[in-house]
């Protein structure tokens, strides 16, 4: 039996029903998070839940739980479902009320839904790297909010999938912003560049961890925007996200990056990222190397 969270309750999945006038369903009016689970333990749960509360604040969606209450609910769901390796998905919509673009009154409570899913680590693509395409970033100007509105992102990902690529790297004009569901970093002459955490990207938790690792280990880091040309001329390129961790990108629009295999700084960051997972969640049975 699989259990999910509907508002405060842990219930059987088949019994969890949401109204057709839920604002998440009708307007994409809500916020969400995806958290990795390794060895039955959430990785960087505090950071994800803090970002969820922040995303809520940014759209004036009042989440009626504290970070610790949310964490406790998720822990109970993970335990109930015996999830060892996978993800937790969690979202808040602005609740159910007769369709009207303007927000409903304070009497309408947000709707919380959450579930677990078993997923392995993508070790093949982390070892060998993946292909990407380039695509104009057509999304709105508040990409810092982890909103349920993902049309721009899914259209970009679909284009990548159709062309046999793993990720679509988005750019606004010449400036590279981020992937359809990941952050993008490049390495040039030993320095790592990644778009600054502005309104144009989601400030990924994986991105933050990587930046922290760079600062701790002396890898030169510049949080500054780079161009499409910089991207294609980079020594190394990688994407980062909760599900893809640190995944090398070895080919973009048919052009090889470096010599077409994952580079040394990417490999080093993968190892150090894996170490930080093990520090929080215990030894991993399936490792990158």
Question: Which residues are tagged catalytic?
Answer: 146
**What region does 173 belong to: left with phi over 0, alpha with psi -120 to 50, or beta?**
left
| 29 versus 178: smaller Cβ distance to ligand PDD | 178
116 binds ligand PDD (CB under 6 A): no
**Which residue's Cβ has the minimum distance to ligand PDD?**
204
Could you say which residues in the range 242-261 bind ligand PDD, by CB under 6 A?
A: 242-243
93 binds ligand PDD (CB under 6 A): no
Could you say which residues in the range 20-59 bind ligand PDD, by CB under 6 A?
A: 34
SS3 per residue for the chain: CCEEEECCEEEEHHHCCCCCCEHHHHHCCEEEEEEEEECCEECCHHHHHHHHHHHHHHCCCCCCCCHHHHHHHHHHHHHHCCCCCEEEEEEEECCECCCCCCCCCCCCCCEEEEEEEECCCCHHHHHHCEEEEEEECCCCCCCCCCECCCHHHHHHHHHHHHCCCCEEEEEECCEEEEECCCEEEEEECCEEEECCCCCCCCCCHHHHHHHHHHHHHCCEEECCCCEHHHHHCCCEEEEEECCCEEEEEEEECCEECCCCCCCHHHHHHHHHHHHHHHHHHCCCCCCCC
Among 96, 206, 247, 266, binds ligand PDD (CB under 6 A): 206
Burial zone of 4 (CB within 10 Å; 0-12 exposed, 13-18 middle, 19+ buried): buried
Residue 113: CB minimum distance to ligand PDD, A: 16
204 binds ligand PDD (CB under 6 A): yes
| 121 versus 207: smaller Cβ distance to ligand PDD | 207
Residue 234: CB minimum distance to ligand PDD, A: 19
Could you say which residues in the range 221-240 bind ligand PDD, by CB under 6 A?
A: 240
Torsion angle in degrees (nearest 10) through CA of 158, 160, 166, 170: -100
| 3 versus 166: smaller Cβ distance to ligand PDD | 166
Choose one: 3-11, 91-99, 160-168, 176-184; the region binding ligand PDD (CB under 6 A): 176-184
Residue 241: CB minimum distance to ligand PDD, A: 4
Residue 181: CB minimum distance to ligand PDD, A: 4
Residue 206: CB minimum distance to ligand PDD, A: 3
Among 4, 83, 114, 205, binds ligand PDD (CB under 6 A): 205
| 96 versus 113: smaller Cβ distance to ligand PDD | 113
| Angle in degrees, CA 211, 269, 47, rounded to 5 | 45
Count of residues of this chain found to bind ligand PDD when the rule CB under 6 A is applied = 15
171 binds ligand PDD (CB under 6 A): no
Residue 115: CB minimum distance to ligand PDD, A: 14
202 binds ligand PDD (CB under 6 A): yes
Q: What are the residues binding ligand PDD (CB under 6 A)?
A: 34, 153, 178, 181-183, 202, 204-207, 240-243
């Amino acid at each position: 039996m699989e259990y999910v969270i509907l508002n405060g309750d842990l219930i059987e999945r088949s019994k969890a029903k949401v109204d057709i006038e839920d604002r998440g369903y009708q307007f994409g009016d809500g916020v969400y998070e995806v958290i990795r689970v390794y060895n039955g333990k959430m990785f960087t749960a505090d950071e994800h839940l803090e970002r969820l509360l922040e995303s809520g604040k940014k759209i004036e969606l009042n989440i009626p739980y504290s970070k610790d209450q949310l964490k406790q609910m998720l822990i109970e769901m993970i335990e109930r479902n015996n999830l060892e390796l996978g993800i937790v998905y969690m979202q808040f919509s602005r609740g159910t009320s007769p369709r009207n673009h303007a927000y409903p009154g304070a009497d309408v409570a947000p709707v919380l839904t959450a579930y677990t899913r078993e997923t392995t680590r993508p070790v093949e693509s982390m070892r060998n790297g993946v292909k990407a395409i380039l695509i104009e970033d057509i999304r709105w100007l508040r990409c810092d909010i982890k909103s349920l509105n993902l049309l721009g992102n899914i259209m970009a990902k679909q284009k990548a999938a159709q062309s046999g690529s793993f990720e679509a790297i988005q750019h606004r004009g010449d400036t590279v912003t981020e992937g359809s569901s990941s952050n993008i970093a490049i390495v040039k002459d030993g320095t790592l560049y990644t778009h600054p955490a502005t309104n144009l990207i989601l400030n990924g938790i994986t991105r933050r961890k990587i930046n922290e690792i760079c600062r701790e280990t002396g890898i030169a880091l510049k949080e500054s925007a780079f161009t499409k040309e910089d991207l294609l001329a980079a020594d190394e390129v990688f994407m980062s996200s909760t599900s893809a961790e640190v995944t090398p990108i070895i080919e973009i629009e048919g052009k090889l990056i470096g010599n077409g295999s994952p580079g040394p700084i990417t490999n080093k960051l993968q190892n150090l990222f894996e170490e930080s997972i093990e520090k929080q969640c215990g030894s991993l049975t399936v490792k990158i190397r």
